[in-house]
Amino acid sequence: MQRVQTIPFFDYPYHYASRGEEFMEAIRSALQRGAFIMQQDLFDFEKGLSDLLGIKHVIGVADGTMALIMSLRAAGVGAGDEVIVPSHTFVASAASIHHVGATPVLVECGADHLMDPASARAAVTAKTKAIMPVQLNGRVCDMDAIVAIADEFSLKIVEDSCQAVGARFRGHAAGSFGVAGTASFFPAKTLGCFGDGGAVFTNHDDVAETVRVLRDHGRAKSGKVEMWGYNSRLDNIQAAILNVKLKYYVEDIDKRRALARIYQDLLGDLDTLVLPPAPDSDARHFDIFQNYEIEADRRDELQAHLSKHGIGTIRQWGGHMVHQFEKLGFASTLPFTDRVSERYLLLPMHAGLKDEQVAVICKSIREFYTGA
C-alpha cells in the first residue's frame, strides 16, 4: 500500500484550487472569444512579464526547452560549435545545444550548486562559441565572473534561466545578461501554468525578431517564410492562466523567501547539512527559491526517514547529473559535481507550503541527526 504523504514535495492541486474561480473565468473568457493561438492574452502576458522583469522582449513559446533551442539559434550557435554548460542541470540544457548541432561541454558547479566560473574558463577551446550559465534553483550565477569570461574569449551568453524568473544579480533580472535568456512555465515552476509553456527573454531587438519568426514556422509578419522554423508558440489559454498567476507573482516569491528564512533559522546550526545561501546573505543576489536544495550527510537515510514521516523530498534529475547518463556518451571528469550528486536533496518549497509545515519538516530533520 502506498503511504499517504502528509507534506507532499509539491502540491499540484493547490495551484488550481488556490485561485480556482479566477482561473476558470480567464479560461472561459478565452474560450468564449475563440482566442486560441497568438491572441491578446499572449501579448498581454508578454508585456506584463516584460514590465515586471525590466527586460525589453518576452516571447512566449511552447516550453523552456524550445526557448533554449531558439535562443541558441538566434545567437548563431550551430554545427561545429562548443557550448559550455554545467553538468548539474536538467538534461534539456545540454539537449538544446545538441539539437542545434553543437556540442555541450559539461563543467563543474560550485559550492552554491551553480556553474563554477573557474571550471567554465578552463573548458574554453578554439571551438567554444557560447557559454550557458544555468540559473539553478532560483538563483543567478556570479555573472561578474561569467561575463568576464565571455568578454575575454568573445563568447555569446545564452542563459538557461528556466528556474529563475524574477531572480536578480546586482539588480539585473535572470535572462537579461547575454544574447537571450529563457523561462519554463512547467506547472511546478515558480510561475507555472497548467501544462507546458516557456518564453525567451532578450533586450536585443534583432534577437527578438528572429525568435518571433522561429516560433511561428519561420514566417515573418508578411507571411513569407524567412528561415526553417518551428511550431512553438505559447498557447493563448496558458497565457490567460499565466496572466492570473502574474498578478500574484511578487507575493508568491516573497512567500518562498520567507519559507527559506524559516528553513535557515531552524536548520542553520546543523553541521550535517549545507543549506542554500540565506535570502539576505549576499546583497548582490535576489533569489526566488524555485527549489530549496540542501546537501546532507547520510542523505539516503535522511530521505528515507522523512518519507517514513510523510514528508516528500526529491533528488533533481532523478539523482543523476548530465555527465552521469552513460548513454549520452560524455567522458567528463567532474568530481565536485559527483560529490554533490551523492549529497543533494530538495526539501518541499512552494507558495502553498505553510510555515507550520516547514517547522514539522525541520523538526523531523533535527530528530534524524540529533535524536532530539
Ligand X SMILES: Cc1ncc(COP(=O)(O)O)c(C=O)c1O
Which residues form the interface with ligand X (CB under 6 A)? 63-65, 89-90, 92-93, 134, 160, 162-163, 184, 186, 196, 198
Q: How far is the CB of 134 from ligand X (least distance, A)?
A: 5
- Of the pair 191, 362, the CB lying nearest ligand X is at 191
- Of the pair 175, 198, the CB lying nearest ligand X is at 198
Q: How far is the CB of 177 from ligand X (least distance, A)?
A: 16
Q: How far is the CB of 231 from ligand X (least distance, A)?
A: 15
3-class secondary structure, 198: strand
- Of the pair 64, 312, the CB lying nearest ligand X is at 64
Look-up: residue for cell 526547452? 65
Of the candidates 47, 81, 9, which has an alpha carbon nearest to the alpha carbon of residue 348?
9
For every residue of 130-175, DSSP letters joined together read: EE--B-GGG----HHHHHHHHHHHT-EEB-B-TT-TT-EETTEETT
Q: How far is the CB of 186 from ligand X (least distance, A)?
A: 4
CA–CA dist 184, 67 (Å, integer): 8
- Of the pair 142, 160, the CB lying nearest ligand X is at 160
- Of the pair 45, 90, the CB lying nearest ligand X is at 90
Q: How far is the CB of 164 from ligand X (least distance, A)?
A: 9
Of the candidates 188, 162, 186, which has an alpha carbon nearest to the alpha carbon of residue 175?
162
3-class secondary structure, 234: coil
50 CB-near residues (< 8 Å, 6+ apart): 56, 57, 58
For every residue of 74-115, DSSP letters joined together read: HTT--TT-EEEEESSS-HHHHHHHHHTT-EEEEE-B-TTSSB
Q: Which residue is nearest to ligand X (CB)?
A: 64
- Of the pair 193, 358, the CB lying nearest ligand X is at 193
| Beta strand pairing call for 82-86 and 128-131 | parallel
Q: How far is the CB of 41 from ligand X (least distance, A)?
A: 19
